Amino acid sequence: MTLRAALLVLTTLLAPAAHAQRTPQELAQALQTAARAGDAVAYRNLLAPGGTFTVEGANFAADLTRRVPADVTYTLGDIREQGTQADATLTLVWTRVPGQVSRVTLPVRLMRVGEVWRYAGEAFQPVRTETGTLLALNAPGLAERTAIIAPLLTRAAGEVRNVLGLPVPGDAVVKVYPDSSSLSASVYLSLPPVAGWNEPGEAIKLVLAGGTPAEVEGATLRVLTHEFTHLAVGLAAGAGRDKRIPWWLHEGLANFAARTFVSERGWQAWQSRVNGYARSGWVPLADLADFPAVPENRWDHAYRQGLGVVEFLAETRGREEPWLLAKTFAETGQGDAAAKAVGFASLGALETAARAWLAARGV
C-alpha cells in the first residue's frame, strides 16, 4: 500500500468519528453509542480536556464496562452556544435494575475543540467559602441554598482530625446536588441514589439536605465528615495504596468519624444493626473488601460491620488502633499483617474477636 493510499484509508476511518461530533446533538449520539456498547475508551475520548468531568469521567466510563447500560438514551436540550462553549440540559434515561427505569436531567457544559464538540460534565456555580472550593449544581436556587454549607466545611474537617488525627486538605472541592438521583447519575449509571460520594482524586459530592436549618446542618455535617474521612484516608494512605484498604474498613472509619453528628437514636440503631448481624447473618469481611464486587443487598453489612470492627478496636485497644489497622493495610496489602499491627494473630482472629464482642453487646 502506498503512503497516499494509507493516508486515504486513515482519513476515511477517522472522518465518521469527527463528523459525528460536529454538533452538540451528534455528541449526544456519540456518548449514547459508547455508553450502550460499554466502551470506556470511546467514552473517555468524547470528554473535553480540562472539563469538570475529565477526572470523574474515567471512573464513570469504567463502570459502563462493568455494567453496560444497553438501553440508556442521551438527549441534549436547551442548547445555548457561546463561542467554543455551550450550556445545555442533558437528560439520561436508562434501566438501572430490571423493572426500574431511571430518569435524570442535569445542566451540563460542552466544549468545542476545533470543529469537534466534547462533553465537559455538569455545570456548576461557585459558592463563597473561606476554605476549599464549594460548587453548586447550576439548578434554580441551589447556589443560594448551598450558602448554609460554607461554614460547615471547617467543622467537618476538624472532626476528622479530632477523631482520626488525619488532616483534610484546605483546597478540598465539594460539589452540591439537589437530590440523590442527580448525584448518583454523575458518578455511575449503575449506582443507586446516595447522599454523598468521594473517589480518590475526585471532588466530594453531596446532596443538600432538606428540613429546618438545624436538620440541614446536622445532616450536612454527618455526610461531609464521612466523605472528608474518605478523602483524608486516601491521601494519608498514598496514591494507589488506598485501594489496599478493604471497603468495609473505609466505611467503618468514615462512619466512626461522623459519630458526633449522628443523633443518639440513630447511633443506637446503627449499633443495634451490627449487633444483630454479629449474632446472625454476619457476612465474612473478605466478601466485603472490594466495593465493585459487593452486591447491593450486602452494602449495609459493609457499612455496619465495618463500623462495628472500628468500634471494637477503639474501645478495647485504643482510639488510634483503627487508623493503624488501615495504615498497615495500605503499607502491606496484607490482612494478617494489618491485624498483627493491632495485636491479633491474623485478620481472621480479629474478625472473630470483633464479632464475639459485638454479639455480646446490648444483650
Mean pLDDT by 10 residues, the chain (363 residues): 42 44 94 96 91 79 94 96 94 93 96 92 94 94 95 96 95 95 95 92 92 92 96 92 96 97 94 96 97 94 98 96 97 97 98 97 78
Rounded to two decimals, what is the model's pTM? 0.90
From residue 190, give the alpha-carbon distance in Å to each of 67, 155, 218.
7, 32, 28
What does the pLDDT read at residue 6? Answer: 42
Inter-residue contact 73 to 32 (CB < 8 Å): yes
Q: Domain residues of the chain, as ranges? A: 3-122, 123-236, 238-363
Q: In the sheet where 100-113 sits, what is the strand order?
A: 73-82, 85-97, 100-113, 116-122
CATH top class, domain 123-236: alpha beta
Using the structure block, give the residue that is written with the C-alpha cell 451528534: 26
What is the pLDDT, as a whole number, of residue 11?
Answer: 36
- What pLDDT score was predicted for residue 201? 81
Paired with 175 in beta bridges are 135, 205
DSSP string, 106-172: EEEEEEEETTEEEEEEE-EEEE--SSSEEEEES-TTHHHHHGGGTTHHHHHHHHHHHHH--PPPTT-
Cell digits for 6? 494509507
State the pLDDT at residue 325. Answer: 98
Instruction: Give Cα 360 distance to the centre of its chain.
Output: 34
Domain made up of 3-122: CATH architecture: Roll (3.10)
